[in-house]
């Protein structure tokens, strides 16, 4: 058991960074904000330190970690960077873009779950960049939640999941995007999106001229299929409440949600509706969490709202589907997993 300390790096940057660097150098695990979600980081070169991440999260060992670097030069020491990969890194780094490339020797197998590829990302948050630079190590880091629960977008989410399991949390306020980075396989000619994020399929296509989206982004894997991105095979982002995604024309989704909501309520449940602020008029007399005015705001508030639904002891969440374009694809990828693929299509 650790006594977990939280340091606000907006007000106490130096203190926080110094402590984080000392702990990382000592082989410990530290939680920190990035522009996507909070991460749980350790020295990527140390097998022992990385094992502590898996232990703190309760993460299955066959799910590889992303390695965070300070620049493209450091990425080159860890993976084979093709011209196309470099072009995308130059365009999207620092930022929510993880490049999966062939791995070079050096990073222990525990980080990459024995794969011959490695996921590399240069994050935008100045705190973590400073920790990488000052410690001299690339930082292996998954999202800082207990495996299976929604990713943390605020420091108190990390405290909820990690108190006693790690020594330090750096608090940088609410993260910018609220969803994890785009994971893009660059080992063949056409970039393949394994997990959508704020760097969109459209963004990648514009630069690379082509892009593919893995079928597993919106569909469950068949039993005998192997996951290109092992993380996609696990139940994910799931709150205690049961989540239903309702998709179709607005009037029909409103009617469907109303019907299911009323049934839940009369059965003693506590349902809640997640919808755009402008649609809350349709659910006036009901329990509602508004998600913002556009899809970017929905992305930013999604994980926070899922945690909030649990805090309110809701039994079911009804989520109005968003269009699967731009960052909407990332929103649908996460919510559909939170729902265990319970998609209700109405006409
Ligand atoms: O925004 C993010 O990416 C955050 C912050 C902390 O950087 N990190 C994050 O890590 O979301 P994690 O471990 O929760 O998700 C990493 C995803 C998993 O789905 C994993 O399977 C995939 O990336 N991944 C990592 N390395 C891979 C590889 N070599 N090949 C295929 N998929 C990989
Ligand atoms: Mg995660």
CA distance 297 to 123: 20
Protein residues within 5 Å, CB atom, of ion ligand 2: 143
In percent, how much of the chain has pLDDT > 70? 96
Ligand 1 atom nearest to 96, measured from its CA: 1
**3-state SS, residue 66:** strand
Q: Which of 39, 64, 68, 145 to mutate to test the pocket of ligand 1 (most atoms within 8 A of CB)?
A: 64
pLDDT value of position 329 = 98
* Ligand 1 environment, Cβ below 6 A: 34, 36-37, 39, 63-66, 96, 98, 100, 112, 115, 117-119, 121, 123, 141-143, 180-181, 183, 194-195, 229-232
Give the pLDDT band (50/70/90) at residue 239: confident
**331-344 confidence digits (pLDDT tens):** 999 999 999 998 99
DSSP state letters, 260-313: HHHHHHHTT--EEEEE-GGGGGGGTTS-EEE--SSHHHHHHHHHHHHHHHHHTT
Q: State the average pLDDT over residues 300-305.
A: 96
Give the pLDDT band (50/70/90) at residue 236: confident
Distance 334 CA to ligand 1 centre (A): 14
pLDDT value of position 232 = 58
pLDDT value of position 342 = 86
pLDDT value of position 220 = 82
CA distance 149 to 341: 16
Q: Which residues contact 112 (CB under 8 A, 6 or more apart)?
A: 64, 65, 103, 118, 119
Q: State the average pLDDT over residues 124-131.
A: 96
**134-165 confidence digits (pLDDT tens):** 999 999 999 999 998 999 999 999 999 999 99
Distance 55 CA to ligand 2 centre (A): 14
Q: State the average pLDDT over residues 236-246.
A: 89
Give the pLDDT band (50/70/90) at residue 228: low
- DSSP class of residue 184 equals E
Are 318 and 171 contacting, i.e. CB atoms less than 8 angstroms apart?
A: no
**3-22 confidence digits (pLDDT tens):** 999 999 999 999 999 999 99
Beta bridge partners of 5: 168
Q: State the average pLDDT over residues 215-236.
A: 70
pLDDT value of position 225 = 61
126-135 and 13-25 helices, crossing angle to 10° = 40
pLDDT of 170 strictly over 60: yes
CA distance 208 to 18: 39
**307-323 confidence digits (pLDDT tens):** 999 999 999 999 999 99
pLDDT value of position 160 = 97
Distance 308 CA to ligand 2 centre (A): 18
Distance 103 CA to ligand 1 centre (A): 15
Q: Which residues contact 106 (CB under 8 A, 6 or more apart)?
A: 45, 77, 78
**173-217 confidence digits (pLDDT tens):** 999 999 999 999 999 999 999 999 999 999 999 999 999 999 999
Q: Domains, the chain, ranges and CATH?
A: 5-217 (3.90.870.10), 242-345 (3.40.50.11030)
pLDDT of 108 strictly over 60: yes
Distance 265 CA to ligand 2 centre (A): 32
For the chain, give percent helix, strand, coil, nearest 5: 35, 20, 45
- Identify which ligand lies nearest to the alpha carbon of 40: 1
Q: State the average pLDDT over residues 295-304.
A: 97
- How far apart, in Å, are the Cα atoms of 340 and each of 13, 70, 99, 309? 40, 36, 27, 17
**3-state SS, residue 226:** coil
- Identify which ligand lies nearest to the alpha carbon of 229: 1
Q: Whose CA is nearest to atom 18 of ligand 1?
A: 231
The phi and psi torsions of 42 (rounded to 5 degrees) equal: -150, 165
Ligand 1 atom nearest to 98, measured from its CA: 3
CA distance 153 to 131: 20
Look up residue 296 and give its two tokens.
Answer: 């970017």
Ligand 1 atom nearest to 36, measured from its CA: 1
Task: Please give the mean pLDDT across all residues of the chain.
Answer: 95
Distance 115 CA to ligand 1 centre (A): 13
Ligand 1 atom nearest to 183, measured from its CA: 23
pLDDT of 234 strictly over 60: no
pLDDT of 233 strictly over 90: no
CA distance 306 to 120: 28
């Amino acid at each position: 058991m650790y006594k977990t300390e939280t340091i606000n790096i907006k007000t106490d940057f130096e203190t926080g960074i110094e402590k984080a660097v000392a702990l990382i150098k000592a082989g410990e695990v530290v939680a920190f904000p990035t522009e996507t979600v909070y991460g749980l980081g350790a020295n990527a070169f140390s097998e022992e330190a990385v094992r502590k991440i898996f232990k703190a999260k309760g993460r299955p060992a066959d799910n590889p970690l992303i390695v965070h670097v300070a620049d493209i030069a450091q990425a080159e020491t860890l993976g084979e960077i093709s011209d196309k990969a470099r072009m995308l890194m130059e365009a999207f780094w620092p930022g929510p873009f993880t490049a999966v490339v062939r791995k070079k020797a050096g990073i222990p197998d525990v980080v990459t779950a024995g794969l011959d590829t490695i996921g590399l990302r240069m994050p935008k948050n100045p705190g973590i960049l400073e920790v990488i630079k000052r410690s001299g190590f690339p930082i292996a880091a998954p999202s800082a939640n207990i495996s299976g629960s929604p990713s943390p977008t605020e420091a108190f989410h990390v405290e909820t999941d990690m108190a006693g399991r790690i020594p330090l949390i750096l608090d940088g306020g609410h993260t910018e995007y609220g969803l994890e980075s785009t994971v893009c396989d660059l080992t063949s000619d056409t970039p393949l999106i394994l997990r959508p994020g704020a760097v969109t399929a459209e963004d990648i296509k514009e630069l690379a001229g082509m892009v593919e989206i893995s079928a597993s982004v919106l569909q469950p894997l068949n039993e005998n299929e192997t996951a290109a991105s092992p993380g996609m095979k696990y139940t994910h982002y799931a709150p205690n409440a049961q989540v239903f995604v309702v998709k179709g024309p607005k009037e029909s989704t409103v009617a469907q949600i109303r019907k299911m909501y009323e049934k839940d309520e009369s059965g003693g449940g506590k349902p809640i509706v997640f919808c755009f602020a402008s649609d809350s008029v349709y659910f006036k007399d009901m329990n509602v969490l508004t998600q913002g005015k556009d899809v970017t705001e929905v992305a930013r508030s999604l994980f926070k709202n899922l945690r909030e639904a649990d805090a309110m002891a809701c039994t079911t969440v009804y989520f109005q589907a968003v269009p699967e374009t731009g960052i909407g694809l990332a929103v649908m990828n996460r919510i559909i997993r939170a729902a265990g693929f319970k998609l209700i299509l109405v006409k």
